[in-house]
Structure 1
Amino acid sequence: MSQPGPPEQGPHRPDEPAGALDQTAQQTLIQDLGRALLRSMPLSWREVTVEYRAVGEHSELSAQLLAPNGTTIPLAVAADVPELFARLRHGMYQVDRGTWTSALYRLQRPSSYSVDFDGDHEPVWRTPPPAAALAAELSAYPRTEANIPGWLEGDTSAPATELRTAEVFDAVDEHGRPHVERPALADEEAVAVADYLDAAPVVLAARSYDADQLDPAAPSAVPLTFHTDGRWIWPGAVSYYLRAHGVPPVGELVEHIRRSGFRVPEVDERARELAVSVITGEERR
């Protein structure tokens, strides 16, 4: 689900100057967030993913429970969770570099958690922020020119982020067999990631299928397709090898999918055309 930040809560808090939190104070707030999320979780569930997105006074919060079979359902979090995220964002400001605009918090019972912050790439908004929010962000948390991404300047003449392409494998060994060196995914998350990969729009496709490079004796069933979500491009083979052989996608793509809450955003025609140009080599990135 998506929740707006508390209306009384602007980018600044009168009792805390921007960037006032040291590492110890940051860790304390992160642990407070974990406790608040645990209070929100039903006892029968073991994992929750929460993303907080904000610029200026515009904020969103999405939370979902992850079931053992990989399905997700929205979660209503404790009322203090958005405020804790806002305090953390305000307190983590760095002079000339700004502060993060999205944070992904993953919590597993009983106390395992991870949190990732991103201040460079545009969040996957449910409701895009108005131009005034972008201006307010730079006013509240100033950055040097080199640290201002195009999307934060309100530049709509170019895609918000650079399209990146995910390879199916990392390398080929001396016997010609492909292999990867990537963190493995838990079974339930692997299903959610594969569903995301398959759900993204297909921008190029062939009528035939390729052979399985990890099982040459199997019927040719590897899709000769390319998908995009407007941020990444990947062959349909990425999902195939994940489902058939447990081969995880590149770590950065997995992190991107987690940050999106395992939901594919809307991909407009311009983004699809750009993806085709990248795939076919008409535009190199």
Structure 2
Amino acid sequence: MKQVSVFRAGSEPPLIAEERLTDEEACRIGAYLEAGAVVMHTNTLGTDVLDGDAKVVPLTIRTDGEFVWTGPVTYYVKKYGVAPDADFLAHVRACDYRVRVTTELEIAAAAAVFAPAR
């Protein structure tokens, strides 16, 4: 299971990727992200690092069966048009922006990405 990000790899503190999507594609990618199967849900909100550290970023985790992403990915794509990882973008475009139905096994595999090691 591949994890999706909108942050620059290896940046500390985390920095938002510089590439931006067109408004139309941000809307389509955002809809795809929201349509993913819920892996883990929380009402807790994270910090928007681009807006004075406001606590408005959903933290729910979703998957499409091949990729897994956290709420900040959806938030930054929809609010600011931040482009997620290139391989994920290619995947979504190849799927014509439509999420397929995921299996319980795929959802469990996505959850394992974030589960603490035992």
Q: Normalising by the residue count of structure 2, what TM-score does the alignment of the two structures yield?
A: 0.88
Equivalence for 2:64: 229
Gap regions ≥5 residues in structure 2: none
Say whether the 8 Å CA contact 2:42–2:60 is kept in structure 1: yes
Correspondence list, 1:60-71, <5 A? none
Counterpart of 1:194 (choices 13, 30, 48) is 30
Q: CA deviation at 1:282?
A: 4.7
Cα gap change, 1:275 to 1:217, in 2 (>3 Å):
closer
Query: Sequence identity, in percent?
Result: 34
Deviations 1:202-232 (A, max 9, x none): 10122210111111253x1101111100000
Q: What CA distance in whole angstroms lies between the structure 2 residues aligned with 1:265 and 1:177?
A: 31
Counterpart-to-counterpart distance in 1, 2:50 and 2:18: 15
2:3 corresponds to which residue? 165
- Give 1:100-179 correspondences, 5 Å limit: 163-171=1-9, 172=11, 176=13, 178-179=15-16
The answer to which structure has the higher helix fraction is 2
Give the corresponding residue for 2:75: 240
Question: Which structure's CA Rg is the greater one?
Answer: 1
Query: What CA distance in whole angstroms lies between the structure 2 residues aligned with 1:238 and 1:281?
Result: 21
Tell me, yes or no, if the aligned pair for 2:6 and 2:16 is still in contact at 8 Å: no
CA distance in 1, matches of 2:14, 2:103: 37
Q: CA deviation at 1:197?
A: 0.3
Letter in 1 for 2:42: A
For residue 281 of structure 1, report the CA deviation from its aligned partner.
4.5
Contact 2:65 2:106 (8 Å CA) reproduced = yes
Name the CA distance, whole Å, in 1 between partners of 2:112 and 2:16: 28
Unaligned runs of 5+ in 1: 1-162
Query: 1:203, 1:179 → 2: CA distance?
Result: 24
Q: Deviations for 1:229-285, whole angstroms, at most 9, x for unmatched residues?
A: 0000011110101121221111111110001111100101111111111221459xx
Q: Matched residue of 1:270: which SS? A: helix
- Shift of the 217–274 alpha-carbon distance from structure 1 to 2, 3 Å rule, reads closer
Q: Determine the structure 1 residue equivalent to 2:17.
A: 180
Q: Give distance in 2, aligned partners of 1:207 and 1:243.
A: 19
* Change in CA separation of 1:188 and 1:204 when aligned onto 2, cut-off 3 Å: same
Aligned length: 117
Kindly indicate whether the alpha-carbon contact (under 8 Å) linking 2:39 and 2:62 is maintained by their aligned counterparts in 1: yes
Q: What is the distance in 1 between the residues matched to 2:78 and 2:21? A: 11
Identify which of structures 1 and 2 has the higher relative contact order when contacts are C-alpha pairs closer than 8 Å and 6+ apart: 2
Shift of 1:168: 3.0
Of 97, 101, 112, which residue of structure 2 is paired with 1:262?
97
Say which SS state the counterpart of residue 51 (structure 2) adopts.
coil
Compared CA separation, residues 268 and 177, structure 1 to 2 (3 A): closer
CA RMSD in angstroms comes to 2.0
